[in-house]
Structure 1
Amino acid sequence: MDKVLILLAGLPGTGKTYLSNIIKKELGTFYMLSQDELKEHYCEVYGYNNLEEKKEIEKITWQKYYEIMDQLMQIGSNVMSDYPFSQKQKPKIKQLVERYSYNVITIRLIADLDLLFKRQKKRDLDPERHLSHIVTSYKKGDYLADRSKADNLLTYEEFIKRCTTRGYNTFELGKLYELDVTDYSKVNYSKLLEDIMLWNENNSIKNSFLKARY
């Protein structure tokens, strides 16, 4: 694959990280650009005392995210990124894609919202998840033995509001594939990979034709 950006989009708790690992294994080298990992890093570096300060860290994170994407596209790296993308991110990503003539695939993951909330809650309570996601203040080294006592856990009402008002389930850029992951056992990941490889092959032929023509 040549100069491809894969965006793993869709609702929280749909298994975007799991899918990214499948793609990397089957489709070759991709630089994995994770907004979550960047945010966790800057929470470690700066810490925050309240949610307003946390928002400032998020601004720094997005600035760095686009900076890294720009650098990767300058050298022609294949890039994959997972996030519940919305219209907020679309203009900047589209600008970079057009500047560096990248081919884009959006894989949008959807599922039953009640089930997704249960997955999200389980994820937030997992000791492996970075604590900064569920507390209103954080500094490097903070630890909470009982995560159910975290003071910024997502409520059901807020989760549903985010999923239904932020456009997570409508985001798309470039070629769109949509997967229902309500039941993981029924997801045909092999078919998705075959479709992506076919799309890439056809796109490569088209690009070669255009180069030869002009």
Structure 2
Amino acid sequence: MKFAFSLKNKLKTAFLLFCIMCCTLMIRFLEDKSVEKINDSFISMYNDRLVPATDLYFIAENLYYKNAILQEILIGNDALHGSTLLVKMNRHNRKIDSVINKYELTFLVKQEKSYLNEFKKALLAQQHLETKMLNIGSAKDGRTIYKSTGKKAVNQTLAKLSALIKIQSKVGNDLIRDSRIFVSGTKVYSTLQVILAIVIGIMIVNIVSASNMVKITSDKFNLN
């Protein structure tokens, strides 16, 4: 009878310890996942936000220089074709295209893709007008086009680029918020691990105490 009772208690204890072990492993798995997601968020913050934001400012810089060169060409009286300034302007165009191609390889949210497409359309329209102004044959006619539609196209391109730059901050804040959630989850998992460790300690103390009680009872029975 005593043997059956002792075996039953041992089986209950073993089952509880098995459940606690499974919970500990599950918590450990979830904790590792949270740490992995936090790491991914920081990597994405650098690769998909910080670097692209720098590239976008680089595009803005090239647009500024290109517009300055365009105005210098239109103000001058020399032949437009074969101009050194025209070569420099085309160089800036190639740099802008290169950065855009690089930017498209990063992770883009839906709104970001939409803003990028709008910027590319505005940039394409600006480049078409620039080609028209530079190939029209005279600086005077080029200036007329610039004043009527060219300047507006430049401002439109810069506005689209500004919107694309601003969204970097918004998406970055979303990543920070997600990281905070993952950090909070990691703290919860750590607390649960501490609680399970305390439960295991209490169970061990109870098992030892129960074993001592059984031993004392057995000794008394033998003495009688």
TM over 0.5: no
Q: Which structure has the greater CA radius of gyration?
A: 2
Give TM-score scaled by structure 1 length.
0.26
More strand by share: 1
